[in-house]
A and B are shown apart, each in its own frame.
Chain A
Amino acid sequence: GAVVSQHPSWVICKSGTSVKIECRSLDFQATTMFWYRQFPKQSLMLMATSNEGSKATYEQGVEKDKFLINHASLTLSTLTVTSAHPEDSSFYICSAPLAGPGIGELFFGEGSRLTVL
């Protein structure tokens, strides 16, 4: 099946620093990728839709200047948490849809757990 790889899987940083998380589709091209955030014991909340070659679309309440998204190629999207603070500590997951017979089925990366001290 399709594979989505996310890196790093775990990152700890100091407050005020920026952290970049990468999401790669390994065996398929993804013009669209989605970034989710999950707080402990809560469900996944969509943060933004990453579009290859154009600006990301952010969900209501998500600060686009804080969560920078760049969809550099058909297989790579990055999420940069700028000037991270402890309240940004969360589990960040990316996903990508597989076009073709599986339209609508999303494949998820392994997730990145961010801890801001």
Chain B
Amino acid sequence: EDKVVQSPLSLVVHEGDTVTLNCSYEVTNFRSLLWYKQEKKAPTFLFMLTSSGIEKKSGRLSSILDKKELFSILNITATQTGDSAVYLCAVSTGTASKLTFGTGTRLQVTL
């Protein structure tokens, strides 16, 4: 059975802090790893990672994948209150882009 585990489950930080969210996986037929941000409704796409060691960056967010150790991290620098959300890690397997989601990390950024 495919498995995606995220840690920590929840996190509270002060504005301006840097956070690192973790995602490990055990799946068959790995295709890609994706990060999503979920606020009140449907998840919004952040990154898709397919190759090891190549950092993807978008503003204050960055992510990297290690296919040997089967994990990924999502970094957020200089956090803002608008970063408060649940961050979901998902792994795509097979040919039909089927996603298995982790439990999510609930991030709260306080003033």
Size category of the binding interface on chain A: 20 to 34
Bound form: Cα–Cα A34–B88 in Å:
17
Interface residues of A in 59-117 (CB under 8 A from B): 93, 95, 97, 102-111
| Contact (Cβ within 8 A) B104 A49 | no
| Contact (Cβ within 8 A) B92 A104 | yes
Total A-B Cβ pairs within 8 A = 58
Bound form: Cα–Cα A46–B93 in Å:
13
Bound form: Cα–Cα A1–B92 in Å:
20
Bound form: Cα–Cα A93–B88 in Å:
14
| Contact (Cβ within 8 A) A105 B48 | yes
Q: Which 8 A-B pairs have the closest CB atoms?
A: A97-B97, A104-B32, A108-B42, A104-B92, A44-B101, A43-B101, A111-B42, A43-B103
Known: A44-B88, A104-B34, A104-B50. A97 touches B96 (CB 8 A): yes
Given A36-B101, A41-B106, A104-B92, 7 more A-B residue pairs with CB atoms under 8 Å apart are A34-B97, A43-B104, A44-B43, A44-B90, A46-B100, A105-B97, A110-B42
**Nearest CB of A to B53, in Å:** 18
Task: Name the B residues within 8 Å of A41 (CB-CB).
Answer: 106
| Contact (Cβ within 8 A) A109 B97 | no
| Contact (Cβ within 8 A) A108 B50 | no
